[in-house]
Amino acid sequence: MTQAHLDRLSSIDASFLTNESSDSHMHVGAVMIFEGPPPVYDDLLEHVRSRLHLVPRFRQKLAFPPAELGRPFWVDDPTFNLSYHVRHSALPHPGSEEQLRNIAGRIFSQALDRSKPLWEIWLVQGMERNRFALLNKTHHALVDGASGVDIATVLFDLQPVPEQHDTQPDWVPRPPPSSSQLAALGIKELTETPVRLGRRAMRAAIHPRTTARKAVESVEALGEVAWNFTDPAPEVPLQAKIGSHRRFCWMRANLDDFKRIKNALGGTVNDVVLTVVSGALRNWLRARGIRVEGLELRALVPVSIRAENEHGTLGNRIAAMRGPLPVYVEDPVKRLQVVRASMDDLKESRQALGAEVISRFNDFAPPTLLAQAARVNFSTTLFNLIVTNVPGPQLPLYVLGRELQDVFPVAFLPENHALAIAIMSYNGGLNFGLLADYDSMEDVDLITDGLSEALAELLEAPALQEARLQADLATGADLPG
């Protein structure tokens, strides 16, 4: 997919605009910590400038058709100023990680300006132990976590010596469309909708058996989505009226620990992640005086529906599934078994397909129906929090010769949701980033600490120790004592 001038936003991309409010910001990003002295700001600015041609969308802004004539367009920003988007800050002495978390919370509390390209990068210097940080912030309408391309990723090199890119000609923005042109494009889109529907109908007539099978699958999938609305998530303190201010915390872990658990006890790395999150939330709820007997929370787990030929493109190709968080289960191994069984059932269900069917319908829907569908897709009664796990590269990356040490991903808070947890693996690590509402989640540190405790519980579980012993016996490894 090209990133052309006057591209129209997809229905999913537009839904992130529809669901944004002054208290619920729809940007995502990461806090990235590097070793070594910080680059000179002008050098970073020039580095970003040299890679911008790889992501043309990042010099484009939104243009809205008048009278709600369809979804907005991406257009070149004639006043694009790189120094507005690449910003510079510093931590006071001693430059601790807690201070970095605080400044990250403030940066992610501010909405992006919709009159400009929807992204920022912050260079934060002054960190202790000869380190610095880059914070990137991108609107979800522009990029999803599985697309693999945004302004931050194109800055990386695989070697300490930066890769030299061919000199690009000076960028010349194309003239912005007038209101009448935008209106004409919107009307054109509406008039072409029956034609596209007609082409689909023709393909259906040519391949009746395939069409009938897909129709049955789609109806079943929509039925599963509809059933979800009769089974809302339980009310817990995570469901609260939120403000615009944020707290940000993180937890470091090793990817090998999660692999060791899933290899010994079954399931997937994501099953183990959900189990660890369940354990942390269980302890937090009990600390808040909430009874957990019989209580199962629901996580909104984004699932990529990006086709193989769409990898490396911008825009959102995601559906959502409701993953289980069985906080009622005390034993960590049994908790993993419950998560594993539930996730296996979900994978055999048609939840993700149902979300995709709704997405396809949205591409043909008029603006009023599109807004209603966007609210349905983001219905905050269906889940307690977002838990998104994004696989990252398992090799070191560099920016201007400095090695990336840690990546802590940042999700977003839908309305009335006080916590979102994003997880990303990188170079042997598996890091958790917790974005929380500032006022209602003063104790978010309890959840952060609880993640480490829940992981340790699994690693120390007798079943895991026994599995490790059996593996050692099978391989003839030296046993302790």
Q: pLDDT, tens digit, for every residue of 209-222?
A: 554 444 444 444 44
Tokens for 78?
A: 């004639």
- Model pLDDT for residues 247-292, shown as the tens digit of each residue: 999 999 999 999 999 999 999 999 999 999 999 999 999 999 999 9
Query: Residue 426's beta-bridge partner residues?
Result: 429
Residue 311 phi/psi, 5° resolution?
-65, 140
Average pLDDT over residues 385-410: 96
Q: What is the pLDDT of residue 469?
A: 73
* Ordered structural domains, the chain, with CATH: 7-155 (3.30.559.10), 225-475 (3.30.559.30)
Specify the residue for token string 């002008």. 42
Distance CA 73, CA 94 (A): 45
Of 180 and 457, the structure prediction assigns the larger pLDDT to: 457
Highest mean pLDDT: which of 97-101, 192-196, 200-204, 304-308?
A: 97-101
Report residue 138's pLDDT band, with 50, 70 and 90 as the boundaries.
very high
Tell whether omega for the bond before 367 is within 30 degrees of 0, i.e. cis.
no
Q: Write down the pLDDT at residue 318.
A: 57
Terminal Cα distance for the chain, rounded: 60
pTM: 0.85
Residue 58 sits at φ, ψ, to 5 deg, of -80, 0
Which has more confidence, 112 or 194? 112
Q: What local confidence, expressed as pLDDT, does residue 292 receive? A: 98
pLDDT digits (tens, 9 = 90+) for 339-376: 999 998 887 765 554 454 444 444 544 544 444 444 44
Is 339:324 a contact under the CB 8 Å cutoff? yes
Residue 144 clears pLDDT 70, i.e. is over it: no
Over residues 396-403, mean pLDDT: 97
Residue percentage of the chain with pLDDT more than 70: 77
d(CA 5, CA 63): 11
Token reading at 421: 């947890």
Could you give the maximum distance between any two Cα atoms of the chain, in Å? 82
